[in-house]
Each structure stands twice: as C-alpha cells, then as structure tokens.
Amino acid sequence: MKKHIALLLTLPLILLGCAQPQETEPPAEKTPPPAKITTEIPQAAHTPYGGTPLAIPGTLETEHYDDGPAEIAYHDIDAENLGEPYRTDTQVDIEKRPDASNGHGIGWTRTGEWLLYTINITQPGTYDLTIPVASNKEGGTFHLQLNDDPITDPIQIPDTGGWQKLQTITDTTKELPAGTHTLKLSLDTQGPSGSIGDIDYIKFELKP
C-alpha cells in the first residue's frame, strides 16, 4: 500500500517533468553586430574598342563601338546580330561589305538604337564630317552627341540607289572640346526604307 501511495505522490511530479519544455537547442549565442558590408558592386562599363580611344581628328569606324554589354555600350532592338560575326557576343548588326572601309559597317538600324564610342579629341574646334551611307529608298535620321549633348542636327540618309551602294554625305559639328569623351551615335527615325540606313564610318576633319 505504501508503494502505491508513493507512486501516486510521484506521478504528478513525473507528469510535471514531462510537461517541462525540453531544451533541444543550445542557448542562442549573443548575436554579434552585423558586419559592415561594403557594397562595392562592380559597375558594368564601356571601354574603348581595342583599348585605345579613337583619335579625333580621324576616322571612326562605326563597327568599332565601345566594348561592353548591351544597354551600356550600345542599344540594339534586334535580339541577335543580323549580320556577320565580326565581333563576338554582340546584338549590334554588323554588315560585311567589300565596298566599306575596314570591310564592315553597321546595318539594320532602327529607331531608338544607339552606339557609344570613346574618343580622344586632340584638337578642339568645329569638325567637318564625311559619312558613307547606303539605303534602298529614302533612309531615316541620326545625330551625334558628345557626353549627352547633341553636336549635330539630325542627319538625313538619302536613297543611295540600293543597300549595296554607298554614298558619302557631309555635315558639321558644333565646337568640340579637347580631351577624352563619349560620343553617342543616336539612331533616331526610320525612313520609307524601313530602316535608318547603313553607316560605314564617320570621318572627322578639323574645319579650317
């Protein structure tokens, strides 16, 4: 009988013991203050094609736009390069053509596309431009910017008599400062050709 009484007395204590929360995890360590994170995320950049800024006065081959990813070095609405694999991993439509300087130019140009060129202007001043272009039917317009400031009015690409017929058009720039700058070729409006036009190069000659 004594045994039963003892069990009855200890049973609630055993049950109480079971009800106690079991400590399964070690006590949380004191959380150290968060480490100071230096958020130095590498920024995508555009760099001169071939490593050296294009010298002005001089000839800027349109196919030698800056190295760098889409939306940083260029914007092209065509998902793939519709032309030749002159440069790897690019959306820019590069056309191979025997009549072009350096054997290549840009084609399949559409409204809103743009290309950047790092240039080094060694002589400040106003420049004459000569630009071989081709268009089957009347082309569209483009303009140039220097560090986001327009340096030409809209330049119209005429009907040159076919996509394979280059014709040199001319224009002039505003006063350009010496130094290293980013030139933007801004492709603005498509013409009846359905494109802006093929552009081989842009030659910059200091105006006398």
Interface residues with Ca ion (CB under 5 A)?
A: 61, 76, 78, 93, 100-102, 105, 108, 200-201
Q: How far is the CB of 154 from Ca ion (least distance, A)?
A: 19
145 forms beta bridges with 150, 184
Q: Cβ closer to Ca ion: 99 or 153? A: 99
Q: Cβ closer to Ca ion: 23 or 80? A: 80
Q: Cβ closer to Ca ion: 146 or 187? A: 187
Q: Cβ closer to Ca ion: 104 or 181? A: 104
Could you tell me the two tokens for 190? 């498509």
Q: Cβ closer to Ca ion: 93 or 171? A: 93
Distances (CA, A) of 16 to 2, 7, 10, 34: 22, 14, 10, 41
Residue from 188, 205, 207, 204 nearest 196 by CA: 188
Q: Cβ closer to Ca ion: 90 or 118? A: 90
Q: How far is the CB of 171 from Ca ion (least distance, A)?
A: 17
Non-local (6+) Cβ contacts of 171 within 8 A are 128, 129, 131, 152, 153, 155
Quick one: the chain helix, strand, coil %, rounded to 5?
A: 15, 35, 50
Q: How far is the CB of 140 from Ca ion (least distance, A)?
A: 12
Q: How far is the CB of 76 from Ca ion (least distance, A)?
A: 4
Q: From CA 146, how far away is CA 126, in angstroms rounded?
A: 13
Q: How far is the CB of 92 from Ca ion (least distance, A)?
A: 7
Q: How far is the CB of 164 from Ca ion (least distance, A)?
A: 14
CB atoms within 10 A of CB 158: 15
Could you tell me the two tokens for 158? 């005429």
Half-sphere exposure of 168 toward its Cβ, with a 13 Å CA cutoff? 10
